[in-house]
Amino acid sequence: MQIATWNINSLTVRLAQVLAWLAANPVDALCLQELKLTDDKFPHEALREAGYEAAAFGQKTYNGVAILSRKPLRDVVRNVPGSEDTQARVIAGTLDTPHGALRLVNGYFVNGQAPDSEKFAYKMQWLQALQDWLRTELVAHPQLVLVGDFNVAPEDRDSYDPIGLAGTIHHTQEERDHFQALLALGLHDAYRLFEQPEKSYSWWDYRMLGFQKNRGLRIDHILVSEALRPSVRACTIDRAPRKNPQPSDHAPVVVTLAD
DNA sequence: ATGACTCCAATGTGGAGA
């Protein structure tokens, strides 16, 4: 089975591209971030015609996450329970597979703006709350996949300019420590389970021909639990949609698990 | 370069993203 994650930077603007991508890549589940629309405007019907059900968690203007799936998603949770977060950043649900229940957690992690900002402090709190929740989620759901736009470049090789950007947002030690703390829960970066091309990124700035010059960051990730690790067959970044007219600034990441 | 590009809310221009 295949699970994908894609920050589409407005589902209103990108719906046609999402449908085209799904037609070419009929994954079992697609996790979206930055819907930028309220739930009453979510395009359930267009997605249903494409063969996907959706659990959405949106808000006006900013944020918003959804899980699209070919088969029903159950036990859906919106945001980290008890977190009182006013921003729509997490949606989770369970898919029943031939190998048992698979818990899927989709996050639009806080950007954090700058290391000395209030938004960065919020990012740190948010990451801690996610970590604390996932610790218990993993006990309840040994087969768990955490996907999303993490807004963290975990290592220097995940940035086009690790020296020039050292200590700036996405590159700070605090953010990387949080990423490592997620791995320490018993999660594995699916992309790094395989040999990958150098300079592999999932996001490129719209400005200054960022994509054309491959000045990007690898900040969209798929983490799999220990129980799922032996099942992972591949993990790839699909750069093709970034070449579309009016693209999202992020590319989809896809993991393939043994059937 | 407090930039660049894109989206949103809104019709002025600024916030936010990363």
Statement: the CB of A27 is under 7 Å from strand B: no
Mean pLDDT of A119-141: 97
Mean pLDDT of A192-207: 97
Domain ranges of chain A: 2-257
Mean pLDDT of A97-103: 96
CATH topology of domain A2-257: Deoxyribonuclease I; Chain A (3.60.10)
* pLDDT band at residue A211 under the 50/70/90 scheme: very high
d(CA A131, CA A183): 10
Spatial distance from the CA of A11 to the C1' of B8 (Å) = 12
| pLDDT in the model for residue A189 | 98
| pLDDT in the model for residue A243 | 97
* pLDDT band at residue A169 under the 50/70/90 scheme: very high
Order of strands, edge to edge, in the sheet holding A100-108?
A74-78, A90-97, A100-108, A144-149, A220-225, A187-189
pLDDT digits (tens, 9 = 90+) for A72-86: 999 999 999 999 899
Residue A149 a catalytic site member: yes
Spatial distance from the CA of A248 to the C1' of B7 (Å) = 10
| pLDDT in the model for residue A47 | 98
Q: Which of A52, A141, A149, A178 is catalytic?
A: A149
d(CA A255, CA A257): 7
* pLDDT band at residue A158 under the 50/70/90 scheme: very high
Residue A206 a catalytic site member: no
d(CA A219, CA A71): 28
Share of chain A above pLDDT 70, in %: 100
Count helices and strands in chain A by DSSP H and E runs: 4, 14
Q: Which of A108, A160, A191, A201 is catalytic?
A: A108
8-state DSSP, A68 = E
Statement: the CB of A87 is under 7 Å from strand B: no
Spatial distance from the CA of A99 to the C1' of B7 (Å) = 41
Spatial distance from the CA of A19 to the C1' of B7 (Å) = 20
Statement: the CB of A206 is under 7 Å from strand B: yes
| pLDDT in the model for residue A72 | 97
* pLDDT band at residue A238 under the 50/70/90 scheme: very high
Q: Output the known binding site of A for Mg(2+).
A: 7, 34, 149, 151, 249-250
Statement: the CB of A9 is under 7 Å from strand B: yes
pLDDT digits (tens, 9 = 90+) for A23-78: 999 999 999 999 999 999 999 999 999 999 999 999 999 999 999 999 999 999 99
Helix axes A173-184, A118-140, angle to 10 degrees: 10
pLDDT digits (tens, 9 = 90+) for A171-180: 999 999 999 9
Mean pLDDT of A146-170: 97
Residue A108 a catalytic site member: yes
